[in-house]
């Protein structure tokens, strides 16, 4: 860090990504720290997220949210308010919001999610297990998936930021959880730390056979973060009345053109499946109850919040490629 404190280093988007965003989609620039407009605050970013969803924000395809070329890369982050021209937000408060991949952000009230208590958990945990990742897992699994006692849950990317909380919640509710992940370390984490009844490597020789063998009673709730070939191996094992939460699609490298896969219509009818597309920001009403429960479980040691922090904004342009490689451990973020 050779910049003066008055200089704000930022990662900006320079072009659309084709598939997984590579470092050349971004540029690292320096800009003055913005002035604080009336009603806004200036936040010093402590830690910023690196999320699978960012791929969609950077793609050419229609998405629920897009970051335009020339803009600072959008990212949820934890930061400290260092200047305020808003009477509801005060200097010194640590806040969760959309601050981007940069050192300092001018944040309007809409960009600020809520205050966090750094004494309760480290900043990076508030960005993951106690942030939108945890809320995604909680609301998706419990309110959309509606698991009943004794049911089996299967979660893809089980060692990831959302998946690990799904597994933890399933264990806390006494559900049987099967995790799909990759590599010996993550398999071990799923079994030993997250309490999955089985952890399955999706690069194994016979994924459909492995899933069927791990789920002799079938699958009642499928929390799908991957789509693609992994989902194709899960659908035949779904039980009648199963619920599918479509939360992500990281196993499909591109949607231009839309790839083909096995038709689901017959399974939908024969098994009376419920398949729901899920974006957590649609469910703000449920945040207080969900966050309260997540905090309670975290304090009780029932949620493992493993985090990998990349140091310095220089690491951000390559971070999505790294995330999609699957070599990261737990929730990935960057400390700018």
Contact set with its own copies (CB under 8 A) = 56, 61-64, 224, 227-228, 231, 246-249, 252, 255, 258-279, 282
The distance of Cα 216 from the centroid of its chain, to the nearest Å, equals: 30
Q: Taking the complex as a whole, how short is the minimal distance between the CB of residue 274 and its own copies, in angstroms?
A: 5
When the beta carbons of 4 and 260 are compared against its own copies, the nearer one is 260
CB atoms closer than 10 angstroms to residue 31: 14
Q: Taking the complex as a whole, how short is the minimal distance between the CB of residue 260 and its own copies, in angstroms?
A: 4
Question: Do the Cβ atoms of 180 and 154 come closer than 8 Å?
Answer: yes
Distances (CA, A) of 322 to 109, 126, 133, 327: 32, 22, 19, 7
When the beta carbons of 232 and 293 are compared against its own copies, the nearer one is 232
Q: Tokens 């419990």 sit at which residue?
A: 142
Q: Taking the complex as a whole, how short is the minimal distance between the CB of residue 236 and its own copies, in angstroms?
A: 9
User: Using CA atoms in the order 268, 221, 248, 96, what is the torsion angle rounded to 10 degrees?
Assistant: 140
Q: Taking the complex as a whole, how short is the minimal distance between the CB of residue 280 and its own copies, in angstroms?
A: 11
When the beta carbons of 83 and 232 are compared against its own copies, the nearer one is 232
Q: Taking the complex as a whole, how short is the minimal distance between the CB of residue 235 and its own copies, in angstroms?
A: 10
Q: Which of 329, 328, 292, 297 is nearest to 168 (CA)?
A: 297
Q: Taking the complex as a whole, how short is the minimal distance between the CB of residue 203 and its own copies, in angstroms?
A: 20
Among the residues of 12-141, which ranges form H helices? 54-58, 123-126, 132-138
Rounded CA gap, 196 and 200, in Å? 10
When the beta carbons of 268 and 315 are compared against its own copies, the nearer one is 268
Q: Tokens 């791990």 sit at which residue?
A: 214
Residue 170, classed as helix, strand or coil, is: helix
When the beta carbons of 157 and 249 are compared against its own copies, the nearer one is 249
Distances (CA, A) of 335 to 36, 50, 62, 304: 23, 10, 30, 21
When the beta carbons of 272 and 284 are compared against its own copies, the nearer one is 272
When the beta carbons of 48 and 245 are compared against its own copies, the nearer one is 245
- Which residues 6+ apart lie within 8 Å of 262 measured at CB? 232, 235
Q: Taking the complex as a whole, how short is the minimal distance between the CB of residue 29 and its own copies, in angstroms?
A: 30
């Amino acid at each position: 860090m050779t910049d003066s404190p008055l200089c704000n280093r930022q990662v900006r988007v320079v072009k659309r990504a084709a598939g997984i965003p590579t470092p050349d989609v971004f540029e690292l620039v320096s800009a003055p720290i913005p002035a604080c407009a009336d009603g806004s605050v200036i936040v010093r970013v402590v830690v910023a997220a690196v999320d699978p969803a960012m791929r969609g924000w950077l793609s050419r395809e229609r998405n629920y949210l897009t970051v335009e070329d020339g803009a600072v890369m959008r990212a949820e982050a934890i930061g400290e308010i260092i200047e305020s021209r808003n009477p509801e937000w005060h200097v010194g408060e640590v806040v969760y919001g959309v601050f981007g991949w940069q050192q300092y952000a001018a944040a309007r009230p809409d960009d600020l999610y809520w205050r966090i208590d750094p004494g309760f958990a480290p900043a990076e945990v508030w960005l993951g297990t106690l942030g939108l990742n945890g809320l995604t897992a909680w609301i998706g699994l419990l309110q959309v998936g509606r698991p009943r006692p004794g049911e089996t849950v299967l979660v893809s990317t089980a060692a990831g930021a959302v998946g690990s909380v799904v597994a933890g919640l399933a264990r806390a509710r006494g559900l049987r959880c099967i995790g799909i992940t990759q590599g010996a370390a993550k398999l071990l984490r799923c079994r030993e730390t997250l309490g999955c009844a089985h952890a399955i490597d999706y690069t194994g020789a016979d994924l459909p056979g492995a899933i069927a063998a791990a789920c002799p009673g079938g699958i009642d709730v499928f929390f799908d973060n991957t789509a693609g070939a992994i989902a194709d191996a899960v659908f035949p094992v779904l039980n009648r009345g199963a619920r599918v939460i479509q939360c992500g699609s990281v196993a499909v490298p591109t949607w231009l053109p839309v790839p083909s896969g096995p038709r689901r219509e017959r399974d939908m009818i024969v098994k009376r499946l419920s398949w729901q597309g899920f974006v957590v920001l649609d469910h703000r009403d449920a945040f207080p109850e969900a966050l309260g429960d997540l905090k309670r479980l975290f304090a009780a040691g029932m949620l493992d919040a493993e985090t990998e922090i990349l140091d310095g904004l220089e690491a951000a342009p390559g971070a999505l490629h790294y995330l999609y490689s699957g070599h990261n451990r737990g929730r990935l973020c960057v400390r700018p």
